[in-house]
Chain A
Amino acid sequence: MTMGTEGAGQGGKTALLLLGCPEVPVQMGIALYLAGRLGKDGYGVTVAGNPSVIQLARVSDPDQHYVKKVMNLEKAMADLIEGRVHPDLVVAFAHNDAGIAYAATVRHVFKSRLCLIIFGREAEELATLADFDCEKIVEKAVHNPGLLKKKIDVVFGWAASKS
């Protein structure tokens, strides 16, 4: 599946990262990390967010090593709801009630793989609201993305082998 023919990565797959409000520091670091790793795995990655998120992505990665394509969040949601895009993977970020509401809406209209990253001080409480079908990664990360990254590595098969 693709997000339009221009969106596919070298592996022919596409991923859409839906970012929430950028007030929690770990979000952008994790988003850049995911964009880079998914890109290496052959995904064409699009990062969607509000104007602040898009500015953060562009300033943090000025040469676009990790984030090749950005999109307004409302446009991305409209495209998913209307079935204009069909990514292979959606990763939704949530650190507040609104983030869970966005992910729930994605789940309702999008039937392929949905991964929900729940972070921030209220991560565990928020996770109880996300009672829909998705892969949940939950960590009370605010400033330090280390533990959250470890859990992401396990879910996406990037954890270093101990054997």
Chain B
Amino acid sequence: MGCIEELKYEVLLSQVSFRECREYVKEHFREWYEVEPGYRIFDSYIIGLPPIFIGVEGNAVFFPYTKPCHGTFLLRIDSPEEVERLRKMKPKKKR
């Protein structure tokens, strides 16, 4: 996972399909942001099929992380900076 491995993260979903991860973010978060494939986050890049959603709750971001052999994981990392960056850059989508 490169630099992400060095951060404190929580795994919400493990070894799911990209679509399952996307639907989970839409269904479980009141606030989420659409990003493009290759979006840079924590010195890594989001791999995925558009549309790609990043959930936000408090100071935490929830984003897909895809590995070739293990599918997609939904990770949570606390980062007020990343939350702020998303809120500034992207039109908000809220339920």
Contacts and interface: CB of A to CB of B under 8 A. Distances in A.
Contact of A78 (B45, B50, B66, B67): B45
Contacts of B67: 98
Contact of A23 (B2, B47, B69): B69
A97 B45 contact: no
A91 to B, nearest CB: 15
Contact of A96 (B2, B38, B49, B71): B71
Residue of B2, B38, B68, B70 ringed by the most chain A CB atoms within 10 A: B68
A120 B67 CA distance: 18
B72 A101 contact: yes
A104 B69 contact: no
Contacts of B72: 97-98, 101
A49 B69 CA distance: 11
Contacts of A21: 68-69
A105 B47 contact: yes
Contacts of B49: 100-101, 104, 129
Nearest to B49: A104
A73 interface: yes
Contacts of B69: 20-21, 23, 50, 98
Contacts of B47: 77, 98, 101-102, 105
Contacts of B70: 98
Interface in A23-62: 23, 49-50
The 5 closest A-B pairs by CB, nearest first: A21-B69, A105-B37, A81-B38, A108-B37, A104-B49
Given A74-B44, A102-B66, A109-B38, 9 more contacts: A20-B69, A74-B2, A77-B45, A96-B71, A97-B18, A98-B18, A101-B49, A105-B37, A129-B49
Interface of B: 2, 17-19, 36-38, 40, 44-50, 66-72
Interface of A: 20-21, 23, 49-50, 73-74, 77-78, 81, 96-102, 104-105, 108-109, 129
